[in-house]
Amino acid sequence: MPVVSEWGMEWTRLMVLDLAPGEVYAHTCGECEWIVLPLSGACQVRCRGAAPDPAPQTPAGLKERGAAPAAEPQVFELSGREGVFSGVTDFVYLPRDADAEIRSAAGGRFALVGARCQTRLPARYGPAGKVPVELRGAGHCSRQVNNFAAADAFPADRLIAVEVLTPGGNWSSYPPHKHDEHHPGEESRLEEIYYFEIAPHGDTPGLGYQRVTPSPAGKTDILTEVRTGDTVLIPDGWHGPSIAAPGHDMYYLNVMAGPGATREWLIRDHPDHGWIRGSWDGQDIDPRLPFPGPPTSPSPAPAPAPSSSQPASPAPARTEDHR
């Protein structure tokens, strides 16, 4: 049987599947949109959609829909990757109200990132070669961000998701920041889930640390050691730093969603620590970055063909951001 770990809050969902060779996991999307993201290994995703009938909005602001199954499933072949530090991966978007099967001939680990949503969008394939990869910060705050489902990179209704890779000894999610209140044009209200994988050093398992401090909008207060497979749920609070122990590269997957009508990611830096950005001027990006980037050859096309509306992936670019 597949090993399934699950986490969730009001708006965000995360599942991690460990599939043995030949195993199949059946997934019901329900009221959430989902992305299937290989962490290690390749897989096939079969999605049987639904033809929604919009109904009047419920008091919670979500549409209840009736659905009729599509005649034939859509089949997507994901090339995946060896592991999270070996490069970006292709992925599949699954709409709400759909049913899916995920199978892996050779086995592997796969993340399903989800968000409770209102609008049903089509199932579609995200090629690895079109994932925007950025290098952010400088010096010991250098990190890499794979923006596979950032708000401005891939269409979704509520879901925002990215991967962050931090060389051992560096700090990510710094300066501490928050997005737990709605201030138009300044801050968006978003829950966030962090899922970690930490590289070992020889036979020594990897470890790192995550900090969350209370904000005016909530009382979340966390200082915890994190290892591979750990998660941190952040309904509110100033979050950061994410600290990679020396000798242990850190990976985390961020899943975000919230009640705002506009899908956007606006943050506020902690007033005591925002000055750190200015200290990066004149510093170089950590030479250990980037980690292996997008493949030079196209990923196999699924059926149906990938959407032609996705932007081409730029070369890794330096930007100044919090992650």
Q: How far is CA 303 from CA 41, 44, 47, in A?
A: 20, 11, 11
Amino acid type, 279: S
The yes-or-no verdict on residue 284 having pLDDT over 50 is yes
pLDDT band at 299 (very low <50, low <70, confident <90, very high): very low
Query: Residues of the chain with pLDDT > 70: what percent?
Result: 84
Contact 190, 239 (CB under 8 A): no
Contact 16, 7 (CB under 8 A): no
Residue 274, SS3 per DSSP: helix
Greatest mean pLDDT among 128-132, 291-295, 313-317 lies in 128-132
| pTM for the full predicted model | 0.86
- What is the distance, to the nearest Å, from the Cα of residue 312 to the centroid of all Cα atoms in its chain? 19
pLDDT band at 177 (very low <50, low <70, confident <90, very high): very high
What pLDDT score was predicted for residue 50?
60
User: What's the rounded Cα separation, in Å, for the pair 306 and 125?
Assistant: 5
The yes-or-no verdict on residue 310 having pLDDT over 50 is no
User: What's the rounded Cα separation, in Å, for the pair 239 and 241?
Assistant: 7
User: What's the rounded Cα separation, in Å, for the pair 247 and 2?
Assistant: 32
What pLDDT score was predicted for residue 316?
64
pLDDT band at 72 (very low <50, low <70, confident <90, very high): confident
User: What's the rounded Cα separation, in Å, for the pair 98 and 67?
Assistant: 9
- Mean pLDDT on 120-143: 96
The dihedral through the CA atoms of 125, 128, 130, 135 has a sign that is: positive
What pLDDT score was predicted for residue 292?
84
